[in-house]
């Protein structure tokens, strides 16, 4: 499947990064290279782009799309480890960093990845296909209490307890293996769901995906690392898609501001 993904807030991010032709920039969520291409187009041969992604398929697509540029370094890794990645590359500070958080449209559309609640697939949801934890393991091995907590916290789902209870009842009969099996359980657990509020499985799938990929827990520290990796007057642009990401990023920003401006 071709990696098609429309880059969100592309113009705003490029403007925000205030790109210097000879600068060093990091795209911490390279994806299909939508943002990366616009960054590298503004760099001279003395400039450098570091592209990080945990999805190997995304990196391969990016390499193909940016094959005409020799000043790009590709890293299969996690933006949560940005400090270590730059240290490994012997880069002390950079001029700008971009983070486009969350799942990409390609990953949702790719049937085999198991992100979508709209089509039948194995329960996977891994952004990094080399990691071991999958959605199937979460659904089949986590305790009812832990499942309810995850669905409530990461999905902001008010029927989290009912959904967790239904999952645990059904998995005692047989292992839950597919997305549609899980969707049907959620529909049975959510009483008379409001069709205008969106698909009844949306919040639960988001919660499980976040748990599988550990998207929220390290985010505050990731932002702190990113700020520490910037040169003086460097720029950090972060795109968030839901309140959990937004809250973690804002807290990290507030902590950074206090560190700089409040008297010791």
Of 2 and 158, the one with more pLDDT: 158
In this prediction, residue 148 carries a pLDDT of 98
Query: What residues contact residue 30 under an 8 Å CB cut-off, 6+ apart?
Result: 36, 51, 52, 53, 58, 59, 62, 74
Of 81 and 197, the one with more pLDDT: 81
Over range 183-191, report the average pLDDT. 93
The answer to whether residue 2 scores a pLDDT higher than 70 is: no
Range list for CATH 3.40.50.150 in the chain? 10-102+216-261
pLDDT tens across 13-34, in order?
999 999 999 999 999 999 889 9
> Residue ranges of the alpha helices (H) in 33-90?
34-41, 56-65, 82-88
pLDDT-above-90 percentage for the chain: 83
Range list for CATH 1.10.150.170 in the chain? 118-213
Domain 118-213 CATH class label: mainly alpha
pTM reported for the whole predicted model: 0.89
DSSP state letter for 113? G
Sheet holding 94-100, edge to edge: 72-76, 48-53, 24-27, 94-100, 230-239
pLDDT tens across 55-111, in order?
999 999 999 999 999 999 999 999 999 999 999 999 999 999 999 998 876 677 777
Q: Of the given ranges (46-50, 99-103, 126-130, 147-151), which has the lowest mean pLDDT?
A: 99-103
Residue that has been written with the tokens 């009483």 in this structure: 191
Q: Helix, strand or coil for residue 27?
A: strand
Architecture of the 10-102+216-261 domain: 3-Layer(aba) Sandwich (3.40)
């Amino acid at each position: 499947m071709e990696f098609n993904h429309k880059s969100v807030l592309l113009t705003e991010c490029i403007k925000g990064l205030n790109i210097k032709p000879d600068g060093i920039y990091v795209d911490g969520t390279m994806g299909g290279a939508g943002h990366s291409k616009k960054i590298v187009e503004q760099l001279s041969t003395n400039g450098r782009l570091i592209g990080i992604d945990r999805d190997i398929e995304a990196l391969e697509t990016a390499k193909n799309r940016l094959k005409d540029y020799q000043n790009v370094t590709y890293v299969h890794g996690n933006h949560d480890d940005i400090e270590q990645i730059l240290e490994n590359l012997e880069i002390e500070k950079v001029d700008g960093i971009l983070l486009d958080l969350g799942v990409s449209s390609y990953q949702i559309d790719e049937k085999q990845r198991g992100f979508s609640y709209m089509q039948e697939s194995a329960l996977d949801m891994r952004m990094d296909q080399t990691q071991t934890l999958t959605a199937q393991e979460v659904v089949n091995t986590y305790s009812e209490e832990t499942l309810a907590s995850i669905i409530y916290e990461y999905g902001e789902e008010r029927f989290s307890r009912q959904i967790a209870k239904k999952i645990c009842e059904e998995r005692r009969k047989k292992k839950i293996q597919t997305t549609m099996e899980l969707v049907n359980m959620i529909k049975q657990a959510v009483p008379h769901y409001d069709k205008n509020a969106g698909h009844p499985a949306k919040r639960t799938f988001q919660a499980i995906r976040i748990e599988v990929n550990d998207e929220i827990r390290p985010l505050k520290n990731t932002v702190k690392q990113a700020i520490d990796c910037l040169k003086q007057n460097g720029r950090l642009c972060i795109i968030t898609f839901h309140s959990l990401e937004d809250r973690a990023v804002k807290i990290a920003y507030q902590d950074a501001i206090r560190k700089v401006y409040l008297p010791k």
